[in-house]
Structure 1
């Protein structure tokens, strides 16, 4: 072939043609190779990389010889294999590759595979996933030809397929839950008051116009969260999304026609979805968590570690990290479910408070007692948490307001109205503190759902 590069040998009769890289005797079936010429051109666009490549044992000649048959990723494998002999080249090479996003996807897996000592992460890659990827990379580098290890990793790959689907669904349902739960802090009673004067009061119209814009944003966030669900699962959630969409149009048309009644109907529709649907979505989270095969994935790591020998012991560390994540996620889902029940009781108390003169003291007292017990049991494990002290203080203040209300049961209506107002103010202060604490639980569970969803990405690229 010239330039000192030998012609590829002819394959034995009956076998498909094979392209042979003269470096290290790497053999790649031609029918598995991609088109190199176009992708390798992206690399050669950089003059500084071109100079660097000339130092790497004739890689350019190999690329020119193999261009119709060998993929850019395979050439990258060889390039990086040689870079390992000169650590000073690793940093500049990766910096150049990452400057052109066209190169990232075909090369990322190979970079991780043969340069495990180089940290290749972005801000969105969880430390758990990075640690596991590094452990696997080290094993694959040191034991690239161990059949038993490859078989064990194939077992992992099968487990990961089911895991990846369930992890994506878990994250999607949690995102849908948070889209709605985030709006629960909004006082719909204030919007109802604005709806009553929307036809005459400019400030009320401004408040309601802003609410319609919020619904536009909410529907977009819901759409983004649902995009990773299957068509059947999206269909199962579509009815309440349609309710929000219809409510938005009801409010918008009511404002245009100065029809306060239509505005009020639209607000009631949104209020119902925002306060009722998170409970059902929490059930979905629990269901998907039950189908998440984290244990199977952990066992697959263990199998790979068992057959891999000394270097594969790093997989044991990865397995431990995975088990820790599984246990933490399980506890977070349980915690989230209990908070969701507390939230349901909180809404029942709120409806009694909002009833005004129609408040039923016996019903309210029973609901409040149950709510207080649930919330106190939830915050007890973190006594030094600032929100724990805040909730306890506001709970005591509501108890004081309730005692004052009870003293005014037989008083004149003006005194009773003043006591009800004081009671409502104390309750809404307590309510906001509880919701803020629930938001902390939301954020912790969401962070773990994201970690689980990201967990397989870097690892899967290696396999």
Structure 2
């Protein structure tokens, strides 16, 4: 927690450099929603707005992540950056590759294992940290298995309602293969957890459901039963659609609550008992673990924002399966909030190539929607069955492809980060073994 002097320093520095709209974006990056409106309002003195944001970040325990975005902003003056780094030394690692941060943390723990163990009395706390890291990797693998299903086009029943169409039958068979492969990968992820882990029992039911959905689809296809096939596809959709968001929230919770405090406290006590080169080594270990916590949290925050946006786009996808009038109304309702989510992602990485492409594509969708409104008015007239799809599909699909590709990139990067994080399990095991009973 920040002390009174630190809160005042950050309040003044942030309030003098950032306005309400700047901080609105930073808060959204941290919490995934416009929570700034819960604690303050535009028009208030900027220092009061800054203090309200700091208090909210303290409450949500993401203050250091908040400051990372502040320090990384072009608006951040050198004095504020210097003050922030003095309070949170791990901010010096902003921009370093995650692999380098893990390497530094792993080396620091290994080199100081004996000193750390001498200051720790609770093996359980360190073991809990190791278990949490393994659990994080498991949930990331579960999320990837589900993401592969979402990336595969769900078969659409052909006009006429029969299973004679060979292309439809092929699509169903391919979808069955994806479901089976994903359920196998999900089971493999669970098997990496300890046998007694409660998460194995908690997650097994939906994995079994995906396997059962594949079996139902296969059976209905073999029997050429159109009713059973349609029902099986609907059940599969209901089973899978909510799962990525649920798993993503669990990933966020694990990373946010990764129990590094006991380790940091032990390092702090060890630092107090040392002097000279040994003290400097421990100080570096403390900064390395703090940097690791910050790096992981900000990457999970980014993934969470993309997941929320992907959920919104997934809902917009369904409009192209509806009749023109219903499609137009639903798209018109859901596009503005989705557009704001996309804009927040674009502003966070405004200089990147994908952000520039996504900005252009979002503008193309805006323009296309305006053409639809002009073509048949609002509310739309009847009799233009293909109007919405003919105008909207191409620009929307262009945007969808860019967003989906970038989300896949973020998703893959987080998986790699979780894999890299496993390297600190070895020194943690060493420390646990050296803690006196």
The interval holding the TM-score normalised by the smaller chain is: 0.5 to 0.7
Post-superposition offset of 1:210: 2.2
Q: Report the RMSD for the aligned CA atoms in angstroms.
A: 2.9
CA distance in structure 2 between the aligned counterparts of 1:399 and 1:149, rounded to whole angstroms? 57
CA distance in structure 2 between the aligned counterparts of 1:385 and 1:165, rounded to whole angstroms? 36
1:192 corresponds to: 156
Query: 1:296 aligned to 248, 262, 266, which one?
Result: 262
Contact 1:401 1:426 in 2 (8 A): yes
The yes-or-no answer on 1:456 pairing with 2:425 is: yes
The yes-or-no answer on 1:210 pairing with 2:210 is: no
Post-superposition offset of 1:377: 0.7
1:235 corresponds to: 201
Higher Rg: 1
Post-superposition offset of 1:277: 0.8
2:246 corresponds to: 280
- Count of matched residue pairs: 330
2:126 corresponds to: 160
- For the residue of structure 2 that corresponds to 1:293, the secondary structure is coil
Contact 1:177 1:281 in 2 (8 A): yes
Describe the shift of the 1:158–1:317 C-alpha distance in structure 2 as closer, same or farther (beyond 3 A): farther
Matches within 5 A, 1:250-399: 250-312=216-278, 313-399=280-366
The yes-or-no answer on 1:172 pairing with 2:160 is: no
How does the TM-score come out when normalised to structure 2? 0.67
Matches within 5 A, 1:125-144: 127-139=100-112
Post-superposition offset of 1:337: 2.5
Question: CA offsets per residue over residues 274-321 of structure 1, 9 Å max, x none?
Answer: 321111112222332343112322222232233243342222212211
- For the residue of structure 2 that corresponds to 1:252, the secondary structure is helix
After the TM superposition, which of the residue ranges 130-139 and 178-187 deviates more from structure 2? 130-139
Post-superposition offset of 1:446: 2.4
- Where does the alignment leave 5 or more consecutive residues of structure 1 unmatched? 1-124
The yes-or-no answer on 1:432 pairing with 2:369 is: no
- For the residue of structure 2 that corresponds to 1:187, the secondary structure is coil
Post-superposition offset of 1:329: 1.6
1:446 corresponds to: 415
Q: Which has the higher contact order (CA 8 A, sep 6+)?
A: 2
Post-superposition offset of 1:417: 0.9
Question: CA offsets per residue over residues 336-388 of structure 1, 9 Å max, x none?
Answer: 33322222222232223321335253442121011001111122121121211
- For the residue of structure 1 that corresponds to 2:349, the secondary structure is coil
CA distance in structure 2 between the aligned counterparts of 1:362 and 1:319, rounded to whole angstroms? 54
Query: 1:220 aligned to 172, 184, 187, which one?
Result: 184
Describe the shift of the 1:126–1:348 C-alpha distance in structure 2 as closer, same or farther (beyond 3 A): closer
Post-superposition offset of 1:136: 4.7
1:97 corresponds to: none
- Where does the alignment leave 5 or more consecutive residues of structure 2 unmatched? 1-97
Describe the shift of the 1:196–1:389 C-alpha distance in structure 2 as closer, same or farther (beyond 3 A): farther
Contact 2:136 2:254 in 1 (8 A): yes
Describe the shift of the 1:430–1:149 C-alpha distance in structure 2 as closer, same or farther (beyond 3 A): closer
- For the residue of structure 2 that corresponds to 1:436, the secondary structure is helix
How does the TM-score come out when normalised to structure 1? 0.64
- For the residue of structure 1 that corresponds to 2:414, the secondary structure is helix
Contact 2:309 2:341 in 1 (8 A): yes
